[in-house]
Amino acid sequence: MGLEQTYRAAMQRLPGGVAVVAARAGGRDIAAVVTSLVSVSLDPPTVLVVVHGAGRLADLLDVDSLWAATVMGAGQEGTVAWIAEPGRPDIGQLQGIAFRPGELTGAAILDGAAWLECRTTVVVEEGDHRIVVGRVLAAGTGTRDGALVHRLGRVRDVTAD
């Protein structure tokens, strides 16, 4: 096995919390499922997300752009699978999914476990991905309890009873 395969196999064992990052472009909501959302700093509140450079979202997350992230919760595996479906058209990406436009960003905040509104401060290109650092402008918890975790290529509900 080459390094790319062993690297992939290794990282597939790292559980990742599932979030949906969204931005608005040309009057449309563009959204992608990510496991790369992490907290960077509390003062000021700052996160980062790693997105594929060729993905539709990448160009919408340039410095100063506005976006939102929703931490997905229990029972949302179907929503995650739909949003992660490859080759979805730009139009109606969130059709049938409960969301509201963020007050500060206009970006889609889904019905989920928690949400953030962000403005990009730094973008670092690294390999085939971009590291996008976002200042948190607003944050809150949602109505969904529990958590989804991605591991070994599957999204699982890890809500404790």
Ligand X SMILES: Cc1cc2nc3c(=O)[nH]c(=O)nc-3n(C[C@H](O)[C@H](O)[C@H](O)COP(=O)(O)O)c2cc1C
- Residues making contact with ligand X (CB under 6 A): 18, 32-36, 50-52, 55-56, 84, 86, 150, 155
Least distance (Å) from ligand X to the CB of residue 36? 3
Instruction: Let me know: does 2 contact 12? Beta carbons within 8 Å.
Output: no
Per-residue burial over 10-27, b if 16 or more Cβ lie within 10 Å, else e, is eeeeeebbbbbbbbbeee
Among residues 35 and 105, whose Cβ is nearest to ligand X?
Answer: 35
Q: Do the beta carbons of residue 74 and residue 148 sit within 8 Å? A: yes
Nearer to ligand X, 2 or 86 (CB): 86
Minimum distance between the CB of residue 43 and ligand X, rounded to whole angstroms? Answer: 25
**Buried b / exposed e along 66-100 (16+ C-beta atoms within 10 A):** bbbbbbbbeebeebbebbbeeeeeeeebbeebebe
CB of 146 to ligand X, least distance (A): 16
Instruction: State which residue, 50 or 137, has the beta carbon closest to ligand X.
Output: 50
CB closer to ligand X, 43 vs 84: 84
CB of 119 to ligand X, least distance (A): 19
